[in-house]
Amino acid sequence: MRAHVGDQLVVGTDRIGIVVGVPAADGSPPYIIKWQKDGHIAMVLPDQYSRIVPAGEPVSAGERAAAGERAAGEPVTADGTPGAAGGTLGAADSTPGAAE
């Protein structure tokens, strides 16, 4: 596994981070990662459940959702979770005085 600054490290389906540093000249681990979910920066030695996604290539939608992220333009529900477009508004969405 080799990485470059700007690549994404995907660990399982619930952790996605951006490679912000590669100390080894040959691109081998460990990597300095900034986790997208909480912004924490850590030196990481990836395991067999990890993969590198080259910069510019998309990470699958299922992995983004598991990491608490959403793509630009992806529909969301009123509470900010991914949802289907064209859904109906629920009681939690009606704000008193909003129609005045």
CATH of the domain at 4: 2.30.30.440
pLDDT on residue 65: 54
Q: Write out the residue range of the structural domain in which residue 46 sits.
A: 1-55
Is 95 within the bounds of a domain?
Answer: no
Is 92 within the bounds of a domain?
Answer: no
Nearest residue to 20 via CA among 30, 31, 28, 11: 31
Residue 52 pLDDT exceeds 60: yes
Is 1 within the bounds of a domain?
Answer: yes
Is 64 within the bounds of a domain?
Answer: no
Q: Please give the residue that has the higher pLDDT: either 57 or 87.
A: 57
The pTM is what? Answer: 0.60
Question: Rounded to an integer, what distance in angstroms lies between the CA atom of residue 75 and that of residue 42?
Answer: 32
Question: Rounded to an integer, what distance in angstroms lies between the CA atom of residue 28 and that of residue 11?
Answer: 16
87, two tokens: 């859904």
Is 29 within the bounds of a domain?
Answer: yes
Is 65 within the bounds of a domain?
Answer: no
Instruction: Tally the domains of the chain.
Output: 1
Q: Which of 21-35, 45-59, 60-74, 76-90 has the lowest mean pLDDT?
A: 76-90
Question: How far is residue 63 from each of residues 7, 15, 49, 90, measured CA to CA in Å?
Answer: 15, 8, 13, 28
Question: Rounded to an integer, what distance in angstroms lies between the CA atom of residue 66 and that of residue 70?
Answer: 9
